[in-house]
Structure formats: structure tokens, C-alpha cells
A and B are shown apart, each in its own frame.
Chain A
């Protein structure tokens, strides 16, 4: 198709403003207010404990502290979350803290220094529980339950043998006949792969400003979000107010990579602005951002792969256990995205998979570039390399022999028709890199 603008290296429309400093990030908008109050959030001292008592008086005595809010001030608050609502806005007395990022109190002050001082003076009494920091421990019979007070709706729990107390979601694939596929194989390779907690690390950490319009009853929030309308809906449902009372204005965003899918500063800002009828700001530092906001899910992936001596895949079985941390966030979707990508771009007639997202007391995990498929790609393309070496076939040839072509079916049973260009990308990358030519379509 002949086009004039599409397909051209047009200069990014926001480049000039970003280079000159004209672009307004949240930290620039702060200068538009003369009477901003500062919020600091008291977070949990222990990753798994009951909050038994909280003494706010020492914080209130700090000069400049305007107000200290806890869950007791907002009995109407509901929990929030992207897919299931399991995350408290504030942990109340006799409620549970489940990771180090849970919020216990909001200290609002005329200056940041006063808010910080107030925050550090709050006295707590907690009852410590076992910290579950490993998804394998979390799946053991008799392990302490992390969300005993939530009914989790996304699970199927098809395996009656399994202890499901801490399983957020279990997911299954069954295509063809995997036993038959392994029986046909000349070589079966079984390996286990593990990935780590990764921080998305956008340059800009979580920041926001909120103001309250007394006339309209509207709360206006300036804070970055990857999905304005979803963030708006989640704030509104958590606060029990109608959606049109929450107005979010998107400042220029300083990077996200998945980390700005989740609620961060938003509800705390909205509550404080409404209660105090003054503009407020809440700005995390890097440490707070890394501890309180989502991570890339660590996955333990076991692949068992059957292949013929000619190098054709016959069967693929995957078991994956994913640490979703203390809250669900995107977890129920990430685990499924990983599962549907378990064989990568390779045609396998017989596939079986069981993939689990498991709660622990680690920092919760959520969206990050690749959304589960990045971890899975490390595992399936390592597995392909292991097999190619065992069969003594050139690894690029081995991939070429098994790569999708029009008419191939995915592990999810979808027949691929449009734009199945994986073989072309293998051939082009090979040529570009000067990879030694082998037999492309054995």
C-alpha cells in the first residue's frame, strides 16, 4: 500500500516538549499549587501480622501535622484490585497486613518533613504470623492461609489432591494427546527453569496530586496511569462513590512498563483531599516504589518435551508455579498469558499445561513488559536450545523446522492464518547476523 505518513520516521509528537522541559510531569504540576499539603504513608513493619493497636497521638503532636487518617476514619472503604478486589486501602485494627507495602496510616502535614516525622512517631502493636516467602511452601498442606478472609473467584481447583488455601488461580491446557505424543518421541527432555523478581524501574516513581471541588463534589487527581478509566472505576468503587466524582487528569508520564497499571497514590490522595478540602500531594521515593508497587512475577517452569529423531516436536508438557506475592493485581491474567505461550512459536500437536498463581507475603507482582510470556520465553527457548544440542541439529535449523506456519495451531487450539511470519524472522535474523546457513526446511 502506498502511504505518505504511515511508514515514515515521523518525529515523536511529544519529543520537543520533553526536550525543552515544557512537558508537565506530576512533579512540575506541584508548582501550580501554593497550599499543597504533604502525605506520607505509614507502611507495615512486618510482612504478615495482625494490627492490634495503633497510637496516633505522638504523630498528631508534631508541629505541622494537620491530620492522621487510618481505616477507622473510613468505615465505608472497600478493597481494590485490577482483576479481583483483595487489596486494602488501609489496614484496620484486627485486620491483616500481608506484605511490607500495606498502608496503615496517612499522615498529612504542611511540610514533607513534618509528615515524615509524624509518620515515624506512630506506635503500633502487632501480632506476628509466619511469613510465607516461597510459593512452594505456600502450596504445602498446613501452610498458614494468607487470604482466609477472601473468596477468590478466578480459580477452578480441578485437582482434588492439591492444597488450595493460597492458590489464587489454577489454569489448564489440554490439546491433542500428550501421552501419545511422548510415546512417539525418540527423545524426551525435561528441565526446570526459574526466573526472578524484576522491578520495572521507570525513571518516574509514583507521584500524584489531588484537589477537591466543594461545589461539584468532584475529586480531581493528577497522577499517571496506564489506563485512566480503569483506575477511575477502581478508585470510585473502593470509596463507594459514583465514577463521575473521580476525575483523573493524565500528566505526562515518565515511563511505566506495567508498573502504572495498579493503583498507587490515587485512593490515598482522593481521601485526604476530600476530608481536608485542600490540595494534597503524595510522592513516593524509590525505596517505597520498589517495596510497595508491583514486580515481575518469578516463575518456576518445568518443561517436558518430546521430539522425534528428525527434530520434530511431538509433545510438550508444562507445569508452572508463579509467585504472585501478597495480592492478585494482574496475576490471574499473567499466569494465563504465560500458559498460552508455553511452547512459544513452535508447532506441537500434543500439549498439556498446569499453571498456578500462588499468594505469598512477598511484594505483590503485576504487569511488566511481556506479562508472563517473557519468563516463559526464557524457558521455552532455552529448552529448544537444549534439545537442538542433544540432537546435534543447528539450533536455528531446529527452530525453523518447528516454527509456526499458516495452518499451525497454538497450545490454545487456535488455528493461525493471518501474518504467521515467524519463519521469515528466523531467516532474516540469521542472514543479518551472518549465521552459518544450514538446511532451512528439513
Chain B
């Protein structure tokens, strides 16, 4: 389980804008850092959905403190929820502006209009049609900039300092259950994680491949924490500050991961989405430790459970 967003009364928000640029292109302006998790793809899919326009038309401007506004950090499993919301609002704001200004050009009103694939059209008069970019140029001549802007700024609640109690600690919670199959070699102490089965609650997966990728990466990282990773610091000095002595899982250590995504669209996130970046990881280490107990009847209380520790424990029994 993971409560996402900063929580605990810490101010948390994201600002984005969506702006038609040169012919056929639309810029999404957000400073949300894509650290590989795919927030840029999520932003494009959401803007695509609102504007009914294929993803290849969108471009994300490069993060820059002077040309983008605050999107908060890529952490706390918050970007799909926060920047997803901000981009959705910005795209809806742009859509609202498109309808507003195009209705002036068409001399009609919103319900009698539509937009799809970059075209704006009237349901009443088939001659009334233009592209988003034609509208943008016409407005530019009138000194009007066609764009949409969105900010998501939910209320957060500060807990009581003595009891930690509050009305709402986090903006939402994501759940993940993982079952792992392990084989323990009782001669060498080596643990092989053969298979992992995950059911992750994403609310709505904006990009199911992204969710699966997060679960696979999270499983690898959780496996590392359970079985091998440890920066050994003695008297303040790191004894293994390199990748030959600090062991991380490689492709041969990581099991096949089978994932089902629970999608009840039952949150107030964009399209019912929740964040899943951190919950994708946290189920794995306890699942492995519990599976080792199931295999050899030894309970380990200290991570990581290295082959040396397993051998020593088995020899004691």
C-alpha cells in the first residue's frame, strides 16, 4: 500500500499549459521531470484524449525554470495524479477556448460544434470548418493567444503533532499485492526468484505498458533490497562504493512478472487514475522474505538476506 502525494498538509500542486504551435503541433508545457517513468507520455495521452488528436501532434517543451512553471517533484507517486490533472485541465481550457473563439467565427454555439484530429467544425453548416492552427493564426492577428492553462492544487490537511490524526493524510492510496515463487539452494544459500504475480490497483491505467514496466522495475529493485543490495558503511566510511562490490540484480536475477491491473476508475485522479510508481516496488521484499520462510522455515529479520546469511541459518538449525 502507498499513500501518494506529499500528504500531511504539505502544499502540493502542479501547473501546466497546452499551446498550439506551428502547423500540426501542440506544445505541452510542464516542468514534471521524466526520470524514465513516463510522465511525458502520460501527459501526451491525456491531452490527446481531451483534444481528440493523435499523440504524434504533441511535443513536450524541455524543462526550464524560466519557461515552465512548478510541477512539483517527480516523487511521492504524484505526477500522473498531479500533472495528469494539470494537463487535463489545461487541455480542457484550450478546448474551451477553441470552442469559444471558433463559435465566433462560425456564428454558432458549442453544442453545434465539434473538434477531432485538429479540425474544428460546425454540425449545422458543413462549410464552417477550420483547423486549430488556422484558428490560432486568425486569433494572433487580433492579438489573442490561443492556449490553455491548468493548475491542480488540492487541499491537504496537517495532522495533529501529538497524535498524528487528521481528516485526510494523503490525496489517495494505491494497493499492490504480489505473490512470488522462490527456490532456495540449501547448499549454497542462493535464492532464485522464479516468478512474480502482481495485482496492482491503478484506478485507471493511463498507459498499461507503463504500469507493467513500473511493476517489473519495482520487482527488480525490491528483489535487490531483499537479497543483495547493501551499501556497507562502517565508522562513516563506505566499504563498497562501486558496482563490483555493491551488487544489484541483473537480467538473469529478475523473474518473469505477470501483472494484472485493477481498474475500477474509482478515484478523483484524471480519468480515475492513481499513482503507482512507488507501490510498484514495495510489495516485493516482504513477499520474497515470506516465501523464503515458506521454503526453508527460517524467518529473517534483517535485510538483505544474502546466501551467507541463509547458509549460516541453515547450519544453525
Contact = CB atoms under 8 A, between A and B. Distances in A.
A200 to B, nearest CB: 9
A70 B38 CA distance: 40
A353 B290 contact: no
Contacts, number: 354
Contacts of B195: 433
B241 to A, nearest CB: 4
B307 interface: no
A172 B162 CA distance: 6
Interface in B242-258: 242-243, 246, 248, 258
A248 interface: yes
Interface string B39-59: 011001110110010110010
Interface string B277-317: 11001110111011001000001011110000000000000
B274 A382 contact: no
Interface residues on B, range: 35 or more
B72 interface: yes
A269 to B, nearest CB: 15
Nearest to B175: A422
Interface centre among A256, A291, A412 (most CB of B within 10 A): A412
B199 A395 contact: no
A242 interface: no
Contacts of B208: 7-9
Contacts of B74: 226-227, 256
A357 to B, nearest CB: 14
A441 interface: no
Contact of B166 (A195, A228, A414, A422): A414
Contact of B199 (A413, A414, A425): A425
B286 A6 contact: no
A47 interface: yes
B221 interface: yes
B236 A131 contact: yes
A12 B211 CA distance: 12
Given A13-B40, A197-B233, A433-B179, A6 B45 contact: yes
B167 A246 contact: no
B1 to A, nearest CB: 4
Interface residues on A, range: 35 or more
B103 to A, nearest CB: 24
A349 interface: no
B73 interface: yes
Interface stretch (A34-42, A88-96, A306-314, A336-344): A336-344
A395 B290 CA distance: 10
B122 interface: no
A131 B234 CA distance: 10
Interface string A371-385: 101100110111001
B159 A412 contact: yes
Contacts of A296: 225
Given A225-B33, A369-B218, A194 B303 contact: yes
A385 B162 CA distance: 30
Interface in A130-161: 131, 133, 156, 158
Interface of B is mostly: loop
Contact of A133 (B7, B234, B241): B234
B169 interface: yes
Interface of A is mostly: loop
A226 B286 contact: no
Contacts of B166: 412-414
Interface in A38-75: 47-48
B99 interface: no
A172 B163 contact: yes
A288 to B, nearest CB: 8
B265 interface: yes
B204 interface: yes
A226 B35 contact: yes
A226 B73 contact: yes
A370 B2 contact: yes
A378 B229 CA distance: 15
B247 to A, nearest CB: 10
A10 B264 contact: no
B131 interface: no
B17 interface: no
A99 interface: yes
Interface of B: 1-3, 6-8, 10, 31, 33-36, 38, 40-41, 44-46, 48-49, 52, 54-55, 58, 60, 62-66, 68-76, 159, 161-170, 172-173, 175-179, 181, 195, 197-201, 203-210, 218, 221-222, 224-226, 229-238, 241-243, 246, 248, 258, 260, 262, 264-268, 271-272, 274, 277-278, 281-283, 285-287, 289-290, 293, 299, 301-304
12 contacts: A1-B265, A12-B38, A171-B164, A174-B162, A196-B230, A291-B241, A341-B1, A373-B282, A374-B281, A377-B283, A419-B267, A421-B175
Given A100-B238, A290-B242, A369-B277, 16 more contacts: A5-B45, A12-B210, A13-B40, A173-B164, A201-B248, A228-B63, A295-B231, A333-B10, A340-B8, A340-B164, A363-B233, A412-B164, A414-B170, A419-B173, A421-B201, A429-B179
Q: When A and B form their complex, which 10 residue pairs have the shortest distance between CB atoms, in order from nearest?
A: A47-B236, A250-B63, A381-B286, A227-B73, A428-B199, A413-B165, A345-B1, A173-B164, A433-B197, A433-B179
